[in-house]
Amino acid sequence: MTDFKENVYAAVALIPKGRVATYGQVAEMAGCPGAARAVGNAIHTNTDPVKVPCHRVVDASGRVGSHYGMGGPSVQRQRLEAEGIVFAADGTVDLARYGGVIEHHPLEPFLPPTGKVLFLGSFPPPQGRWSMDFFYPNFINDFWRIWGWLAFGSKDYFVGEGKHFDKERIVAFCRDRGLAFFDTARKVCRLKGNASDEFLLILEPTEVGELLAQMPSCRAVVTTGGKSSEELAAIVRAAGVPAVGEAKTVVVDGREVMWYRMPSSSRAYPMRLEQKAAHYRVLWDLVR
Catalytic-residue membership of 54? yes
Please give the pLDDT value at position 272: 93
Please give the pLDDT value at position 210: 96
Taking 90 as the threshold, does the pLDDT of residue 96 lie above it? no
Please give the pLDDT value at position 273: 94
Average pLDDT value over all residues in the chain: 92
- Identify which has the larger pLDDT, 72 or 150: 150
Taking 90 as the threshold, does the pLDDT of residue 193 lie above it? no
Write the pLDDT tens digit of every residue in 73-82.
899 999 999 9
For residue 1, name the pLDDT band (cuts at 50, 70, 90): low
Write the pLDDT tens digit of every residue in 223-232.
988 899 999 9
Write the pLDDT tens digit of every residue in 266-275.
988 899 999 9
Taking 80 as the threshold, does the pLDDT of residue 67 lie above it? no
Write the pLDDT tens digit of every residue in 108-128.
999 999 999 999 999 998 888
CB count in 10 Å sphere of residue 240: 9
Strand-pair partners of 20: 99
Percentage of the chain lying above the pLDDT 90 cut: 74
Q: Once rounded to an integer, what is the mean pLDDT over residues 123-138?
A: 93
- Identify which has the larger pLDDT, 47 or 156: 156
Write the pLDDT tens digit of every residue in 30-56.
989 999 999 999 998 888 988 999 999
- Given 54, 174, 189, 218, the catalytic residue: 54
